[in-house]
Structure 1
Amino acid sequence: MSSRRFKAPGPIATFFALLGLGILLSLGSWQALRYQQKSHAEGQRDALAEATPRPISDLAALNRGELDFHPVTVRGEFLSDRAFLIKHRVHQNKPGYWLVSPLRLPSDELLLINRGWVPYERGEAIARSLLEASAGEQEFHGLVHFLDYVVADTPARQRLARGEASEAILLWDSYDTEGMHSALEGTTAQRAVIVTLAPDHSGEPYPIASLAHITEPYLTAEKHFGYALTWYSLAVALIVIYAAAGFGVLHAQPMATRA
């Protein structure tokens, strides 16, 4: 009885197999790390869901990370000359923006507030009208959202650096809190934190305030686990295919000639 001996495929096949294996393992490890991070954040969020709201009068506790995903109350006055519209936000299958306004705290520091969703068609006009109607000190409550991963809106940051973004309403392609901080004159949070207002702060008819993107995020820890499992499974499949080729299992059979 003959036994098969392993003979490595050619150098080109081996190179691409190792390259593919490295890519798949890197993607799997990245998703596994994101799974761990999201699991921690979701556990922290769930544990604090029913916590007593903490009042915020300055940025100290936010900078220390003590209030991440914690219910809070905050008092201050919205800036009348600056707001941000975050693109590509969907509500009930309709495109729109998140409206983010800087709130001046009693400490004179600035805190970003996600006021809710506005429709794409009239988003900028609605934002301007809300800025005009937001004068005076007010009290709000919501959740502190800490972004463990910030996607930089590089074009928007470059426009700011060149002094080309002087209008009151600035459009952003991503939820780039760090970039938004750079557009403000004053002391802002040292971390990627933003307070998202609770649903009862919705306007008539806009903005539509919601905590759904925090409490029910699209990319949950479970989804990251599924992605990691997929990439690792593909890596195992690649190893099996390479080994099968080396043992000659995948040799093509000649086609039978027709009579």
Structure 2
Amino acid sequence: MREWRFVLSKKWLGYLAVAVVFAVVCVFLSHWQWERRAENLALQDRLNANYNARPVAITSILPELDSYSAADEFKPVRVTGRYLVDKTFLARDRSYNGFPGFEVLVPLETTSGRVFVIDRGWVPTGNTHDAPDSIPAPPSGRVTVVARLSQSEADVPGRTDIPGTNELARIQPADIAKRLQLPTYTAAFGQLKSETPETATLPKLAQKPQIDWSLNLSYAIQWVMFAVAAFGFLIYVVRQEYDALNSDEEDQRWLEEERERKRLKRGPSDSDLEDHDLDEKGYESSLPGTRISR
């Protein structure tokens, strides 16, 4: 075992410490990815439950104009009123399956006098100008809308509304409320699910969000593999060092064994035979007064 004592040197103990620290960091990151996976699974479960829930009256979820809870995201609400078609807004720079376009936002004045902003869906950018070629009209008169709740969007640095137009940089019902000067739900808006009465054409309705938790699982496994690889690499370089330190001694031992093998294969030489005969005959003592016999 003395050949392996070099691993107890400060250099190799330092390498071991580096490998341990790296492995601890990898395990921490793996655990973090595993927790993210659990969070995304919970979000997926909540999304599925809310997305497929039965519609309820808007006042049961949004009792006040500024009410909103993230736990209610995508829950369908039922609203009755009339569209303020002349107050239609367009949220620009929106994509649908990779194509550029706009989200069509039409305020719905409810029977209670409150306004709830409805995102009726997506329309593509026009062929000859930076605006839709056409926008499907909503039903006129009294309409009952079922829409899924969505939170007011956050500001995006560098993106602002275009003054004097109906184009918006982000969907924020509070901004629309300032333009309407009407009591408006400001913390949330609705993504259209259905309308009664129906219209012949509709914009492209919002697609169901997809929450991918498989990547978190993959990353968690990869970080564990990195930790194992660190110790595997350390073992490899230790073995390389061992071979380098002991190669001369092993080579000398091999040469000696090879010489002995060849000697045995070749048989005894003449000198070996003579030495053997002398050993068998023996000698008398060479002390004074003695005579060597042959």
Q: TM-score range by the shorter chain?
A: 0.5 to 0.7
CA distance in structure 1 between the partners assigned to 2:26 and 2:155 by the alignment = 28
Q: What is the match of residue 124 of structure 2?
A: 119
Give the alignment partner of residue 148 of structure 2, picking from 134, 140, 144.
144
TM-score, normalised on structure 2? 0.57
The answer to whether the aligner puts 1:36 opposite 2:42 as a matched pair is yes
CA distance in structure 1 between the partners assigned to 2:139 and 2:219 by the alignment = 51
Q: What is the match of residue 102 of structure 2?
A: 97
CA distance in structure 1 between the partners assigned to 2:197 and 2:169 by the alignment = 22
CA drift at 1:72: 2.3
Give the paired residue count. 226
- The equivalences for 1:28-107 within 5 A come to 28-46=34-52, 48=53, 51=54, 53-56=55-58, 59-60=62-63, 63=67, 68-70=74-76, 72-78=78-84, 80-91=86-97, 94-107=99-112
Q: What is the match of residue 167 of structure 2?
A: 169
CA drift at 1:83: 1.0
Range that drifts further, 136-145 or 196-205 = 196-205
TM-score, normalised on structure 1? 0.63
Which one has more relative contact order, counting CA pairs under 8 Å at least 6 apart? 1
Work out whether residues 82 and 169 of structure 1, in 8 Å CA contact, stay in contact via their aligned partners in 2. Answer: no
Work out whether residues 76 and 103 of structure 1, in 8 Å CA contact, stay in contact via their aligned partners in 2. Answer: yes
Q: What is the match of residue 249 of structure 1?
A: 236
In structure 2, what residue type is equivalent to 1:181? A
Identity %: 13
Q: What is the match of residue 285 of structure 2?
A: none
Work out whether residues 97 and 119 of structure 1, in 8 Å CA contact, stay in contact via their aligned partners in 2. Answer: yes
CA drift at 1:117: 1.8
CA distance in structure 2 between the partners assigned to 1:144 and 1:136 by the alignment = 21
CA distance in structure 1 between the partners assigned to 2:228 and 2:198 by the alignment = 55
CA distance in structure 2 between the partners assigned to 1:29 and 1:165 by the alignment = 44
Q: What is the match of residue 158 of structure 2?
A: 155
Secondary structure of the residue aligned to 2:221 is helix
CA distance in structure 2 between the partners assigned to 1:236 and 1:227 by the alignment = 14
CA distance in structure 2 between the partners assigned to 1:182 and 1:170 by the alignment = 9
Higher share in helix:
2
Q: What is the match of residue 174 of structure 2?
A: 181
Work out whether residues 149 and 190 of structure 2, in 8 Å CA contact, stay in contact via their aligned partners in 1. Answer: yes
Q: What is the match of residue 190 of structure 2?
A: 194
Range that drifts further, 36-45 or 135-144 = 135-144
CA drift at 1:115: 0.9
Q: Rg bigger for which structure? A: 2
Range that drifts further, 193-202 or 10-19 = 10-19
Deviations 1:89-120 (A, max 9, x none): 215x6432321222222333221211122112
Deviations 1:56-86 (A, max 9, x none): 5794289366795235243233262451325
Structure 1 pair 99–10 and aligned structure 2 pair: CA distance change class (3 A): farther
CA drift at 1:238: 1.9
Work out whether residues 173 and 188 of structure 2, in 8 Å CA contact, stay in contact via their aligned partners in 1. Answer: no
CA drift at 1:139: 0.7
CA distance in structure 2 between the partners assigned to 1:103 and 1:18 by the alignment = 55
Structure 1 pair 187–137 and aligned structure 2 pair: CA distance change class (3 A): same
